[in-house]
Amino acid sequence: MSDEKVKKKAIATDAGIEIERIYTKAIPVNEDAGQFPFTRGVQQDMYRGKLWTMRQYAGFSTAEESNERYHFLLKQGTTGLSVAFDLPTQIGYDSDHALAEGEVGKAGVAIDSLADMEILFNGIELEKITTSMTINATAAVLLSMYVALAKRQGANLANVSGTIQNDILKEYAARGTYIYPPKPSMKIITDIFAWCAAELPKWNTISVSGYHIREAGADAVQELAFTLADGKAYLEAAISQGLDINVFAKRISFFFNAHNNLFEEVAKFRAARRMWAKITSDLGATDPRAQMLRFHTQTGGSTLTAQQPHNNITRVTIQALAAVLGGTQSLHTNGFDEALALPTEDAARIALRTQQIIAHESGATQTVDPLGGSYYVEWLTAEVERKAWDYITRIDKMGGAVAAIEQGFIQKEIADSAYKYQKDIESTEKIIVGVNKFTLKEPPFDDILTVNDSIRIIQTEKLAALKSNRNASLVQQQLQHLESAARDGSNLMPHILTAVDNYTTLGEISDVLRKVYGEYTGN
């Protein structure tokens, strides 16, 4: 066969965007950072003025043990806390529930009541630290516990800041820790929007999460498109409840993943800001701060390998650099051992030091949008944006993100992408160092953090003591008020806050709402 007939194999990004050998045509970059549509960043000086918030996602076992880790991280220089909750907490079961067995304290910290929240933040002034909580179906309950604790500390709620993830749509599409059907879940979310606008003005009331969409197998374009489609659905839900987009859109943030294809990830972050500016302005936002896409980034958990785990330090460094070059507002770097277990203190320290080295030694912070104007990066930003808009247009034609989820469209697209990615690894079309190439025979990596099953016993004993010492009749009265509010459509937040303040448990509150709303089965 002649050379002319041999077609060279296309080189493409992880999302399948074909890449030319060289780019020689400039796409004009006329805007400044801090100006609509914010492609180059949401602050004019970006990191020249203030570094991103360095968060380390942590939470395991009991509130006591997690509190120790938080104090450790704060001493190491972390500038914001990010709380991981165990699965029973995420799906509204107290630790003594039969379905909680085997899961208490494993994927995060077990929080059953305000008493646990008091221990979790013991010695930490909530008015002086920002806290991100990865919680969705039970977000209203955990936020109420946090607010109740802040009040007990004497904090001015006008100064309390942080984020609850509160993104239930991606749970139906990608992650699965939902409780109630979509419509009542969206009602609870808009209740939180409205209550925080009046009572907790600095709180980010939702962090629309592409992270878990990506972890489920989506590529970078799908992560961007499905996340912004979800964000658009939340905007429309809030507008339908009479909320002012110029007020509540300021309190929406985003949570993205960062994978190893450095330039594609940077392009994704830049395109995200540009697209969100258009979405918000099309829906009526006129305040520039309501048009800005602010986001937290976490390095890619699904990219970490159990084989040769120290290689993950390099992966995390590339991913963290992509987030910084892409203009993130806060960042969590994974521990190198997280493919095996929860991170040890050594792994958590190295992960934090990775951020600090990028911040203070790499030079990446010295100018705004340092890759802006690159022929390749500007072209790739536009191409990622174009492909993401194609998805959003298809979703809009289906009736929006909720309808697309109900029809299974988003789930299928993610599943197909995950299947292709795995096939590419198995065929070595996609090289994963230490997994399908450059492998070694190595002894088991045994320096890992384990959580004992006895945590459930400890939590159950705490619950028994709590219930014996609280005002049981008052708790029942408050649960009845909550049920009435759920049935008549009132805002639930004041009722949940009063309930948790008197040590009503997360499971008791969730059960009342299950009784009214039912449970979503996905059928």
pLDDT digits (tens, 9 = 90+) for 503-522: 999 999 999 999 999 999 87
How far is Cα of residue 259 from the mean position of the Cα atoms in its chain? 15
pLDDT along the chain (523 residues), means of 10: 57 96 90 96 96 78 86 86 92 97 90 97 94 95 98 96 95 93 94 94 94 97 98 95 93 96 98 98 98 97 96 98 97 94 88 97 97 97 98 98 94 97 96 96 78 84 96 97 98 98 98 97 73
Task: Output the pLDDT for position 185.
Answer: 96
CB atoms inside a 10 Å sphere around CB 288: 17
Task: Output the pLDDT for position 5.
Answer: 46
Kindly state the tokens that stand for 150: 């802040």
Kindly state the tokens that stand for 151: 């009040």
Q: Token pair 């806290």 is at which residue?
A: 131
Task: Output the pLDDT for position 29.
Answer: 84
Count of all residues that appear for the chain in the document: 523
From CA 500, how far away is CA 231, in angstroms rounded? 29
244 close to 255: Cβ distance less than 8 angstroms: no
Task: Output the pLDDT for position 487.
Answer: 98
Task: Output the pLDDT for position 448.
Answer: 73
pLDDT digits (tens, 9 = 90+) for 456-471: 999 999 999 999 999 9
DSSP state of 342: B
67 close to 123: Cβ distance less than 8 angstroms: yes
Nearest of 253, 213, 300 to residue 132 by alpha carbon? 253
Task: Output the pLDDT for position 115.
Answer: 97
Task: Output the pLDDT for position 59.
Answer: 60
Task: Output the pLDDT for position 60.
Answer: 66
Terminal-residue alpha carbon distance, the chain: 54
Task: Output the pLDDT for position 310.
Answer: 96
From CA 173, how far away is CA 154, in angstroms rounded? 40
Q: Token pair 């159990």 is at which residue?
A: 306
From CA 323, how far away is CA 49, in angstroms rounded? 17
Q: How far is CA 480 from CA 208, 238, 495, 502, 508, in A?
A: 32, 27, 10, 14, 11
